[in-house]
Each structure stands twice: as C-alpha cells, then as structure tokens.
Structure 1
Amino acid sequence: MKFPTRLGIATLGAAMLAMTVPSASHAASPLPQDFLWGVASSGFQSEGSPGGLPASNWTVLQPGQTPIGRSVDFRHRYRSDIALARGLGAKVYRVGVEWARVQPSPHRFDEREWAYYDDMIGAIVAAGMRPMITIDHWVYPRWMSKAGSWANPAAVRWWLAYANQVVHRFAKYNPLWVTFNEPIMNVAQQLMRNELTPASAPVMADRMVEVHRRIYREIHRVQPKAMVTSNSAYMPLGAEGVIDPFLTDRFMAHADFVGLDNYYSFSLSNPLASANGLSDGMAGLPINAESIYYALRYNARRYPGKPIYIVESGMPTADGKPRADGYRRGDHLADIVYWVQRARADGIPVFGYNYWSLTDNYEWGSFTPRFGLYTVNVLRDPSLRRIPTDAVPVYRRIIARNGVGPHYRPTRAPEPCSVVDAAVSCLEPVH
C-alpha cells in the first residue's frame, strides 16, 4: 500500500459529459477456472519492528509518525494468518522479504532470519497456495540509508547481492515475482522522508530500472517459466501519461505481466470529494469500483499482449469506523470483482486479483487507515485479534463461485463522467 497522491481535478467540456458508448451487456461473465484469487501483504508492514529492530530507513521516525512496534505480529502469527487465507480459498499469498532483516550489515547475511522466511514461504506452499514474493517494498537497511541510499553507486551492487539471495533461495517454490513495489512511489517516499535529494531522484529511477532488468534475467535463468513484474500504482486524472514514460514503461520492457494497483477514483460529478481526505485521510478520498475497469483498460492498451494481474486493490476505513460515504467493504469488494469480470469479458487479459490486505497493518506511519479483510486494533487490543469484516464471507463466496455471478449488479452505479483515465473515461464510459 502507498500514500495516495493528491492531484487537482481537470475540467472537461459539457460535450464530453453527453458522450456515451453503449455496452453490449451488463452481465458479469464467468472468469476462467485458472483465475488467480489472492491476498496481499508486505514484510515490514505486517511483521513489525519491536524496539526499532531490525534497523531500517523506516525505523527512523519522522514528525507525526507512529512507531510500528510489533505491528500485527505476522512475524510470529504467520501460520494462523496463512490458515485464514486458506480458509478463504485463496490461491495466491503475496508476501515480502525485508532486506534489513536478512542483511543487518553490508558484509553479513543472517541465516536465522533467512530460516524464518524459509519456514513462512514453505508454509504458504504447504497450505496449497502459490507465493507472490516482493523483493523490494520500500524498506532498506539502515546501513544503506546512511551510505546515501540509491544516490550511492554501490547501491546497484548491494541490491543485486541481496536480490540474488532471495531468488536463489525461493525460486524452487515457483513463485510469482514482484521486483519493486510501486517504483514511482518508492522514489516519492524517499523524497518526502528526505532520504533522497530531488537531483538524485532520476538517478534512483535509473538504478532501479537497471537492477530490475538484471534480476529479471537471473530469475528466468534459475526459473525459466517465471512470471515477473513490478507493480505500478495507477494514478487517476491522466497522471499515468506523465509517469509511465519516466519509469513504468522501462520496467515493463522486462516484465512477463503488468502488475496493477488500484484504489482511488475521481469524477466530475463530485469534484470536492477529495477534500474529505483532510479529515479522514486515506479513508476520505473518493473510491468508485468502476475505476478498476478504466485502469485495466488503460494498461491493456498501453502494454498490448501482456497479461495483467491486480496485485493490490482494496478500500480504506478510518480506524475501523464506517466510511463517510457509507460504502461497506464487502459491497465494494463485490462491485470491484463485477468490473473485473466485465473487463475480462471485453477482452482485457486480466488473470489474477489480490485483495489488500488480509489483515490491517502499518500504513507507513500510522495504524489509522484500515484495509484488512480481518481488522486488527493494534493500538488498543494487546491480543491482536483478527476480527472478520463483512468482506470475509463475500470474498469466500466470490472465490468459491469464481466471481459474483451473472445476475449481480453493482451496489453503486458508475459515475457519469469519471476522470480516472482523464478524458478517455468520459469519452468511453462503462455502464
């Protein structure tokens, strides 16, 4: 998960509002039997870092940042969480390896920590699920940060030494691979936290592209039929047209599928909706389920011939409270899946979906945003109970039926002029 980007809303002419493209069918066609249903998490966000260890860039507190502590303690509860995912019927479990945990110094890897990941990823496989392994999810060893992070030319060598260890250790499980989680947001994070100067941002981007290309080749050398990507955070309002040439296109030149993350939406019918973010943070920003359709269509057109996997998708609430817009997690999930099925029926090659996230976790400085299928009150419940939300039976039913069924209709109609894909989502709307 990432920080949402706050962008201004473009104004489109009244003529665009009147333009429609009729849809052949409103039915949600069945998905193929090999469609991959999954859940997602990351290492640092769910494992926690009690006492600030292992030392990383994210254990250095910024103003207003809540310490992570043990988070939801996935570190010691992974077997029971994996059992929850299995109980949903999930086929894929996305996890991350935390670099700071396995390499506490530039010259030493920690075999005890590697053994933890051996056991955890082995438990996913033993539960009948396929791992999706993220190599880099924004968290770096403190020693790398002190040495200048990606501005240091040695970062290429450091990262590849770590990544090669991950690949050679876990390729035997035939995982799906994510090299970098949301590269553009990785750069943005380091800029916002003053870990990187603006002048070094293009350098970081170039070096990430370089190591992605090199580890892509190494993954395919040891796992010839591997599926490798770098997931991209889809930015609404046409921002993708600026971001993609700078970074995403370069990653997709060495990728077997498009990794897509989609959360937020905007529309001309509710131009002030994002103002709610000032009071409710992530949970105040607008969400419209049909935005996933526009994001899928955009990526299918930009990267023709590449299959698409929705690596992250979900809905935030503020500290577990109902959303101000009244959208319930289970309804939003079913609506999302409806639009995924519509996209597939329209020829968009989407082959998998991960819900972010299985449980609530640490959302990069705070425990207030809640995304979990199972909610966990980290700050007020020492037992860290996993409490099922209304979305748990919904997702279990969706996976069992391989979709929402042909008679399902979204609980909310699509916005009349969404600007998720800028003018295109007004000129070619879904119905």
Structure 2
Amino acid sequence: MPRLRFLRSPAAVRTVALVLALAAAPLIAAAPAQASPTDLGSGFEWGVATSGFQAEGPPPDSNWSRYVAAGKTHDEYGSGPDFRHRYVEDIANAAAMGVQVFRFSVEWARVQPAPGVWDEAEFAYYDDVVRQVRAHGMRPMITLDHFVYPGWVADRGGWSDEGTVDSWLANAERVVRRYAGDGTNWITFNEATVFLQKELTFGGISLAAAPQMLDRMVRAHRAVYDLIHRVDPAAQVSSNVAYIPAAMGAMDGMFADRVRDKLDFVGIDYYYGVSLDNITAANAVTDAFFDIRPQPDGIYHAAMYYARKYPELPIYIVENGMPGDDGKDRPDGYTRSDHLRDHVYWLGRAQDDGARVIGYNYWSITDNFEWGTYRPRFGLYTVDVLTDPTLTRRPTDAVAAYRDIIAANGLPDDYRPMARQSVCSLVDPPKSCLNPPAVPGVSDTGSAASTGSR
C-alpha cells in the first residue's frame, strides 16, 4: 500500500488540497445520472492478495528482516500471520468466497538464501501453494518482487549495486520457468516508486542512488517481461502502481511510462483520495492509515485517468482495501463491507464511462505486517498476531459481502454508495473536480447515508 511521505506534513497536504480545490470548486458540474452498475461483465475476475514477507511468518535473512532487527519498525515481527504453514486454510477461505485470482509473492530471500544456492524445500512449499490455488479453481497471480531481497544482496549494496539486476533476473527466471503456464499471471515489481521510497526511508539506498535504482528496475522489468512471453505467450504481465492523488504524472514518469510498451494491463493499487471536503490523507504521513476517511469515488477517477492515459491497456485493480485500527470498529460506523461495496459500485461506473476494468483484488486475505506495524488491519480475515498465539482466522463482515458480490458479479440494481461522493475530488485534477459523475437519486454532495457514515 502507498505512503505519502513526500508530503512532509499534514499542513502541506491541507495547503495543496485547499488551493487546488478552491480554484476549481466554482466550476463543479454534475454529470448526467446513469443507471446503477450491476454485472461487471463476462470475464471480469475477482481476487484476493497477500505477500511473502508480510504474511508468511518468521522470515529468512533479507533487507526487511534486517530493518526489523535494527529497530527501525514500530512492531517486532514475531510469528507473522504464518501463511507459510497455514496457506491451505487461507487459500480455501478465498475459494469459499468464489474468488478466481489468488495473488501472492515468491520471496527471493526464501528460495535463494546465498549466491548460487537454491533452497528446494522452499520451492516445494511454493509448488504446493500454486497447486492448492489451481486445485481450488483459481488463477495464480505471482509477484516476483514485493519490496524484499536477500541479505546477501543487501551486503552487496542492494539496488545500489549494478550486479543486482543480473542476480534478480536469475531468480526471476527460475520462478517463471517453474510456475508459468496454466493461466498464471505476473506482477514484476510491486509499486516500484513506493519500493524506492521505502528503501530511502529505511536506509537500503542513498538519495544519490535513487535514479540508478529506478533505472535498474526498469531494465529488470523489461527483460523479465520478454522472458515471460517467451516461456508463456498467453501470460499477462504488469507492475502495479500505487495511486497517489494528484501526483500520478510525476510518479508514472519514474517507472510506468518507461515500461508502458511492456505492460499487458495497468495494475492499480487504490486506497485514498483527496478532495475539498476530505484532506484526511495527511494522516498517511504518520502511518495512521485508519484515520483517513475513505473516498471510494476516487477509484472511479483513478480508473478513468489510466483509461485516458493508456487507452490501449485494460485496467486491473491489483489492490484495494480498508485499514482498521487494531481490530476496532471505525468511529463513524463505516464498515469493511460498506467500503468494499462502495468501491465496486464506482468501478462499475468507470466501466459505464468507458474504462476497460477487467479485475479486482481485495487487499488482503488476512491481516499482516504492514511494513513496520500490525496496527492497520486490512484483512478480510482478522488475525491478532501480537495477542493470539493460535493465529485464528476470524471473518470480518466483508467476507459475506464479497461472497455475494462475486456470486452476482456486481451489485444490486438499487445499490447506492454509503460514503458520500467527494466535493471536488483531486484524485485526477482538474477533470475529477470539474466533471464528477452523478449518483442517481442523490445530490452532488449527499449520499445514501448523507454523511458517509452510519
């Protein structure tokens, strides 16, 4: 999930949001009312996601295990959710909802613990993960790099080292050749620009080395894209972007624009919006994601942004979800199932308006280690890693909601969002502010719940 550390303070966020919004607010015009979206269309895929370091349990030596050991994170890692030994249960839980895509990562640090050394026992574990996913009728979506690399790569300088590209590609080729085919799709780098930001934040690279890290990730992506299509021409390959409101032009210029011709779909991770009436994204500066007011209509504007920018590519929402505060209900009463339905509603609206949205993954199947802390809870299934030694998976209200959405391939005809539509969304200014889509039967600033909460 994205962080907004480049906005250095809540005051900076408020200033940017208010200046842009106040300039455009007098020009807001409602779009014509449309029917509520129902069926998302044949071929639309519903998925869930997880990642290796965040969920597997006690990790091998890696950049991230070292960040934790050095005390750079809020929480110690502990047991983690233990996907490493409970993957059969988590995959079965996903399949019981009707999920068609299961996204996970094959951890480089786990399968190559030393230069030239490959751990066949760990590959056997991933063999069974893939086997279980396919046996339950789901498509694997495999992430090759979710922010983590082996400790021996860190010893050589991580992405500051020119040799990391060749080492990364050697691992990627082994993984691709082992799991390609039978419908497997691929994410090369998870949120490349956020990967860069995290390495800067936690000391994996210096600021001077940042351009080289981006250049090397671009080279690695382009090379592995070609490899995947040689091995499995039918595979779909992408690198998901973290959608940062009002900043995607600059973000895309760092990575996505440079690999545009080596993408089979646009992968979007959407979590937060910014608007005239919602500047709570400033809380991301301090990692208080649970204090950010959700802005579901922003996913519409994110999809429309890429539909205009990359019209040749379909769009897949690779991550979307709502963080809870350590398992507590939101004070405003807005639930995980409300959040899920509202975002699906706005994806349907984006489809109605011409965006080729082909899939959606919920982040995540269980609560996990959110890059330094267990406090933000994103899971469809809650796991109390720090307090429950049994690591029991407990379903949230969104499990039943997702099951119903998948069964219907969308929402009922009469569904209206629980969260109010934003006033002058700055997700994709100025278009998202000047031309907000209307919600049938609801005023421009109202909602089915009038305040966006119950």
Q: What's the TM-score once normalised by structure 1's chain length?
A: 0.95
Larger CA deviation: 77-86 vs 14-23: 14-23
Check the 8 A contact 1:398/1:404 in 2, yes or no. Answer: yes
Q: Match of 1:141?
A: 150
How far residue 265 of structure 1 moved from its aligned partner, in angstroms, is 1.1
Q: 2 CA distance for matches of 1:193 and 1:19?
A: 42
**What are the within-5 Å matches in structure 2 for residues 105-184 of structure 1?**
105-184=114-193
Could you tell me whether the CA contact under 8 Å between 1:182 and 1:231 is conserved in 2?
A: yes
Shift of 1:424: 2.0
**Aligned position for 1:244:** 252
- Equivalent in the alignment of 2:106: 97
How does 1:29-40 map onto structure 2 within 5 Å? Answer: 29-40=38-49
Name the SS for the 1:309 alignment partner.
strand
What residue in structure 1 maps to residue 425 of structure 2?
Answer: 418
Q: Which residue number corresponds to residue 397 of structure 2?
A: 390
Does the CA contact (< 8 Å) of 1:5 and 1:235 recur in 2? no
Give the secondary structure class of the aligned counterpart of 1:173: coil
- Give 1:270 shift: 3.3
* Residue in structure 2 matched with residue 59 of structure 1 by the alignment: 65
> C-alpha distance in 2, partners of 1:410/1:100?
42
* Residues 1-12 of structure 1 mapped to structure 2, 5 A cutoff: 1-5=1-5, 7=7, 8=13, 9-10=16-17, 11-12=19-20
Query: What amino acid is the match of 1:329?
Result: R
TM-score by length of 2: 0.91
Q: CA RMSD in A?
A: 1.6
The answer to whether the aligner puts 1:337 opposite 2:326 as a matched pair is: no
State the secondary structure of the residue aligned to 1:172: coil
Q: Tell me how far apart the structure 2 counterparts of residues 101 and 270 of structure 1 sit (CA, whole Å).
A: 41
CA distance in 1, matches of 2:118, 2:57: 19
In 2: Cα distance, 1:416 partner to 1:351 partner: 28
Q: Distance in 2 between matches of 1:279 and 1:307?
A: 34
Q: Report percent identity of matched pairs.
A: 50
Could you say if the C-alpha distance between residues 15 and 255 of structure 1 is closer, same or farther in structure 2, counting changes exceeding 3 Å?
Answer: closer
Shift of 1:305: 1.4
Q: Could you tell me which runs of 5 or more consecutive residues in structure 2 were left unpaired when the two chains were aligned.
A: 8-12, 439-454
Aligned pairs (5 A) from 1:24-423: 24-49=33-58, 53-60=59-66, 61=68, 62-236=71-245, 238-271=246-279, 273-274=280-281, 281-423=288-430
Q: CA deviation at 1:18?
A: 3.8
Q: Give 2:248's aligned amino acid.
A: E
Whether the aligned pair in 2 keeps the contact of 1:30 and 1:406 (CA below 8 Å) is no
Q: Residue 64 and residue 15 in structure 1: after superposition, are their counterparts in 2 closer, same or farther (change >3 A)? A: closer
In the alignment, residue 313 of structure 1 is paired with which amino acid? N
Helix, strand or coil at the partner of 1:131: strand
Displacement of 1:143 in angstroms is 0.5
Q: Counterpart amino acid of 2:415?
A: Y
2:424/2:433 contact within 8 Å kept: yes
Aligned-partner Cα distance in 2 for 1:332–1:285: 13
Q: Which amino acid aligns with 1:3?
A: R
Report the AA paired with residue 254 of structure 1: K
Give 1:57's aligned amino acid. N
- Matched residue pairs, number? 426
Partners of 2:33 and 2:437 within 8 A in 1: no
What's the offset of the Cα at 1:364?
0.6
Q: Following TM superposition, by how much is the alpha carbon of 1:347 offset from its aligned partner in structure 2, in angstroms?
A: 1.3
Maintained 8 Å contact 1:171/1:222: yes
Per-residue CA deviation, residues 5-51 of structure 1 (Å, 9 max, x unaligned), is 463233134553442142340411421132100001011111022xx
Q: Distance in 2 between matches of 1:364 and 1:17?
A: 41
Quick check: 2:112–2:150 contact (8 Å CA) kept in 1?
A: yes
SS in 2 for 1:361: coil
* Cα separation, partners in 2 of 1:242 and 1:277, compared to 1, 3 Å: closer
**Partner deviation per Cα, 1:129-164 (whole Å, 9 max, x = no partner):** 000000000011000011001111111110000000
Contact 1:2 1:363 in 2 (8 A): no
Q: Please list the CA deviations of residues 217-237 of structure 1 after superposition, one character each: whole Å capped at 9, or x if unmatched.
A: 01000101110000000001x
In the alignment, the residues of structure 2 paired with residue 375 and residue 4 of structure 1 have an alpha-carbon distance, to the nearest angstrom, of 26
CA offset at residue 251 of structure 1?
2.4
276 and 162 in structure 1: CA distance in 2 versus 1, 3 angstrom threshold: closer
- Is this contact kept in 2: 1:307–1:351, CA < 8 A? yes
Q: Is the 8 A contact 1:320 1:375 kept in 2?
A: yes
Deviations 1:352-410 (A, max 9, x none): 00000011011011110100011111111111111111111100000000001221111
